[in-house]
């Protein structure tokens, strides 16, 4: 008999009885998707794996602790037959055939009346991959195709515009510290769907080069001590483009809410009724030290880390930082925007009791090709910044964690 291709379909299983025979690895792998589909799951098996047991304990499935018996498929809409007993599997699939219940068999795809596709999800879409006939079945191949499609959709390399579900308004996307691989999957997808991107100097600038030519890229460069686009102008640009019905991404360095003025932008948009999605990003405060092998905490060394802005000096009346208290902390201090004021900051910390020989690392342009690490102590850091010509952007780490790992200076893969 000629082999016809399988007919793909999406089963809507909410509240409908699904019978699973067997409680081993196959059931364990398939059950989460059946639970997510809202199925009324009856599992029949004398034994189950600890994970399946946990699903039964949580009330997600009903477990009958015995082998398969004729009649178990009564009322079933769909069955998964996956016991270790070939004879039981054969009897169960005969019952399924008789009752006209679609059934998957883990031990014999030829005897099954349904096949489970390799599936994956990306923002509202399910990707399901089946081979055309039983003889051509190659689960690794279908899984690889599934992975390629899902990954492409997630990271935006497979661009499939979907106007119905496109995020309306503005997305404030945390782009991470600079390495284009360190943006989130969601951030990358929104970037791939954008009509307009308003980008900072910090963050994954390399990704801008990948955008298609029709995408308008606006430079909101807030270069330290240099060119400056007022926050109000940025807010206005976001509002204007969103009002034209465009999909706008505000691409920011690190995380939008860590010294990123993300909330100010969200508030400006909310005032004029423009919806705003915030996508968290990997903050430089943790990732840049990590890029040079510095953990911000380490067992037995630092049980806390504090992230501080150093953009105003400790004695500046605008400073909101309690430097004397920070000097008493035993954990790690991470200072952003502090290159210019590090001399005054170090003096203040030492004056309030922090040992002058406390290790300091300055990490410039972390995670980028220009990454550079310079080491000092609180006593020497001001002079080191001058002699080594350390420039922003840099993350400054103060504390014993600086010395716990092997010295790493170059960017890692």
Ligand X SMILES: C[S@@+](CC[C@H](N)C(=O)[O-])C[C@H]1O[C@@H](n2cnc3c(N)ncnc32)[C@H](O)[C@@H]1O
Shorter beta-carbon distance to ligand X: residue 120 or 366: 366
Find the part of the chain contacting ligand X (CB under 6 A) among 32-40, 349-357, 380-388, 391-399: 391-399
Task: Fill in the per-residue mask, 307 to 346: x = in contact with ligand X (CB under 6 A), - = not in contact.
Answer: -----------------------------xx---------
DSSP class of 195? S
Number of other CB atoms surrounding residue 73 within 10 Å: 25
- Which of 200, 252, 341, 354 is flagged as catalytic? 200
- Measured N-to-C along each axis, helices 231-243 and 262-271 cross at an angle, to the nearest 10 degrees, of 50
**What residues form DSSP beta bridges with 44?**
21, 64
CB of 309 to ligand X, least distance (A): 8
- Tokens linked to 141: 């191949």
User: Which range, of 50-58, 182-190, 247-255, 400-408, touches ligand X by CB under 6 A?
Assistant: 247-255
Subset of 215-234 contacting ligand X (CB under 6 A):
224
Residue nearest to ligand X according to CB distances in the complex? 254
Residue 396, SS3?
strand
Q: Does 366 bind ligand X (CB under 6 A)?
A: yes
Binding mask 394-413 for ligand X (x = CB under 6 A): xx------------------
Q: Which of residues 161-180 bind ligand X (CB under 6 A)?
A: 177-178
Q: Does 280 bind ligand X (CB under 6 A)?
A: no
Size of the site for ligand X (CB under 6 A): 25
Do the strands 305-309 and 216-219 form a parallel or antiparallel pair, or are they unpaired? unpaired
- Given candidates 28, 106, 283, 290, which one binds ligand X under the rule CB under 6 A? 283
Residues 6+ apart with CB under 8 A from 358: 349, 377, 378, 398, 399, 400
Query: Which span (3-11, 212-220, 251-259, 402-410) binds ligand X, by CB under 6 A?
Result: 251-259
The yes-or-no answer on residue 200 being catalytic is yes
Residue 71 near residue 19 (C-beta atoms within 8 A)? no
Segment interacting with ligand X, rule: CB under 6 A, options 125-133, 155-163, 212-220, 257-265? 257-265
C-alpha–C-alpha distance, residues 93 and 134, integer Å? 17
Tell which one of 45, 83, 184, 284 touches ligand X (CB under 6 A). 284
What DSSP element (H or E) covers 289? helix 284-291
Check if 243 is active-site: no
184 lies in the binding site for ligand X (CB under 6 A) = no
- When the beta carbons of 72 and 365 are compared against ligand X, the nearer one is 365
CA atoms of 69 and 390, how far apart (whole Å): 75
Q: Report how far residue 400's alpha carbon sits from residue 7's, in angstroms, rounded to the nearest whole number.
A: 62
> What is the DSSP-derived secondary structure letter of residue 166?
P
CA atoms within 13 A on the CB side of 49: 13
Residue of 72, 155, 179, 222 marked catalytic: 222
Query: How many residues make up the chain in this entry?
Result: 413
Please state, in angstroms and as integers, the Cα–Cα distance from residue 339 to each residue in 125, 193, 355, following that order.
Answer: 46, 36, 20
Q: Does 130 bind ligand X (CB under 6 A)?
A: no
Active-site annotation, residues = 200, 222
Chain residues binding ligand X by CB under 6 A are 177-178, 202, 224, 253-255, 258-260, 283-285, 288, 336-337, 363, 365-368, 392-395
């Amino acid at each position: 008999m000629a082999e016809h291709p399988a007919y793909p379909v999406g089963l809507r299983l909410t509240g409908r009885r699904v019978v699973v025979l067997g409680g081993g690895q196959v059931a364990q792998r398939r059950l989460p998707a059946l639970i997510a589909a809202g199925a009324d799951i009856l599992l029949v098996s004398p034994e189950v794996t600890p994970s399946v047991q946990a699903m039964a304990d949580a009330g997600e499935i009903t477990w009958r602790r015995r082998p398969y018996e004729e009649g178990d498929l009564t009322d079933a809409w769909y069955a998964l037959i996956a016991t270790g007993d070939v004879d039981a599997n054969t009897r169960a699939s005969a019952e399924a055939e008789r009752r006209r219940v679609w059934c998957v068999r883990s031990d014999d795809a030829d005897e099954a009346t349904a096949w489970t596709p390799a599936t994956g999800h990306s923002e509202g879409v399910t990707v399901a991959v089946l081979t055309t006939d039983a003889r051509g079945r190659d689960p690794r191949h279908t899984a690889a195709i599934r992975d390629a499609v899902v990954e492409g959709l997630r990271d935006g390399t497979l661009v499939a515009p979907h106007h119905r579900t496109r995020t309306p308004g503005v997305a404030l996307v945390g782009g991470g510290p600079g390495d284009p691989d360190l943006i989130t999957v969601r951030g990358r997808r929104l970037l791939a769907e954008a009509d307009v991107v308003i980008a900072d100097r910090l963050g994954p600038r390399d990704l801008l080069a990948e955008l298609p030519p029709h995408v308008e890229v606006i430079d909101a460069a807030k270069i330290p001590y240099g060119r400056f686009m007022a926050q109000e102008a940025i807010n206005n640009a976001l509002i204007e483009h969103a009002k034209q019905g465009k999909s706008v991404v505000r691409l920011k360095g690190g995380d939008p809410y860590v010294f990123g003025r993300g909330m100010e932008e969200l508030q400006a948009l909310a005032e004029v009724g423009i919806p705003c999605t915030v996508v968290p990003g990997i903050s430089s405060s943790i990732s840049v030290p990590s890029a040079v092998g510095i953990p911000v905490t380490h067992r037995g060394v630092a049980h806390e880390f504090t992230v501080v802005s150093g953009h105003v000096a400790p004695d500046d009346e605008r400073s909101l930082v309690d430097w004397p208290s920070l000097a008493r902390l035993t954990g790690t201090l991470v200072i952003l925007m502090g290159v210019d004021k590090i001399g005054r900051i170090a003096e203040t910390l030492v004056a309030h009791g922090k040992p002058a020989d406390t290790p300091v690392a300055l990490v410039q342009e972390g995670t980028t090709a220009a990454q550079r690490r310079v080491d000092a102590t609180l006593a020497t850091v001001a002079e080191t910044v001058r002699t080594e010509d350390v420039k922003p952007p840099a993350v400054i780490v103060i504390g014993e964690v600086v010395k716990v790992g092997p010295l790493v200076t170059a960017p890692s893969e």
